[in-house]
Structure 1
Amino acid sequence: MKIRYIAVAEIEFDEAVAWYLARSRGAARHFGKEVRNVERLLLRYPRIGRCVELDARSLCINDFPYNLIYSIEKSEIVVVAVAHHSRRPGYWMDRLGDTR
């Protein structure tokens, strides 16, 4: 099993890193580390996230107001959003069709 980000989720991740980097290099590094920790956890326990939609799960990124929203496909975990807690709930739902 592997992890793949759809393009718009990659952009969200990059924007979050850039936001933290503009404020603190250490915070940006810590954010990246916590995202990698979540990825490792997902590879080990893909169903650990809370079911938020029929084909989507959500897992909180420790120490940061973000969740990884993902779906489980046959051979990969597809991240559809790096969702900030202040965003409208479910804004990412139309992306679920983009996972293939």
Structure 2
Amino acid sequence: MNSVKFYPDAKEELISAIQYYENCQAGLGSRFRVAIELATQKILSSPFTYRTLKAPFRRYLVPKFPYSIVYSIEPNYILIIAIAHNKRKPHYWLKRKPY
């Protein structure tokens, strides 16, 4: 498995979080983006390693940021369902269905 797709709302969440962090401190948004990219690579290399929340969803905790990547393992790719803040609206993404 070597590709990642973003649920449309997850892409918006990522952009919003990057902008928020960049507004807080110059360069922090870039650091968050890099943390997400590294996390995505780890998920791709070992997708079954990370905890199952509610099948079929799994979660990867992003180091140094209060965010998780919620994803599902599809036959040919990883689908990122949400870039979820760990303290806001738990499980709001459950209504999102894998393609």
**Taking structure 2 as the reference length, what is the TM-score of the superposition?**
0.95
Residue 23 of structure 1, CA deviation: 1.4
- Worse-superposed segment, 35-44 or 21-30: 21-30
Quick check: which one's strand share is greater?
A: 1
- The number of residues matched between the two structures is 98
**Taking structure 1 as the reference length, what is the TM-score of the superposition?**
0.94
User: Aligned partners of 1:67, 1:49: CA distance in 2, in Å?
Assistant: 11
Quickly say closer, same or farther: Cα 1:55–1:18, change in 2 above 3 A. Answer: same
Counterpart of 1:35?
36
User: Aligned partners of 1:47, 1:26: CA distance in 2, in Å?
Assistant: 32
User: Aligned partners of 1:25, 1:78: CA distance in 2, in Å?
Assistant: 30
Is 1:4 equivalent to 2:5 in the alignment? yes
Superimposed CA distance per residue, residues 23-79 of structure 1 (whole angstroms, 9 cap, x where no aligned partner): 122211110111011011011001122100010000011100000000000000000
User: Aligned partners of 1:57, 1:29: CA distance in 2, in Å?
Assistant: 25
Which sections of structure 1, spanning at least 5 residues, go unmatched? none
Is 1:25 equivalent to 2:26 in the alignment? yes
User: Aligned partners of 2:43, 2:87: CA distance in 1, in Å?
Assistant: 23
User: Aligned partners of 1:81, 1:39: CA distance in 2, in Å?
Assistant: 12
Matched residue SS, 2:72: strand
CA RMSD of aligned residues (A): 0.8
Q: Which amino acid aligns with 2:89?
A: R
Which sections of structure 2, spanning at least 5 residues, go unmatched? none
Is 1:91 equivalent to 2:92 in the alignment? yes
Matched residue SS, 2:65: coil
Identity %: 28
Matched residue SS, 1:81: strand
User: Aligned partners of 2:70, 2:49: CA distance in 1, in Å?
Assistant: 12
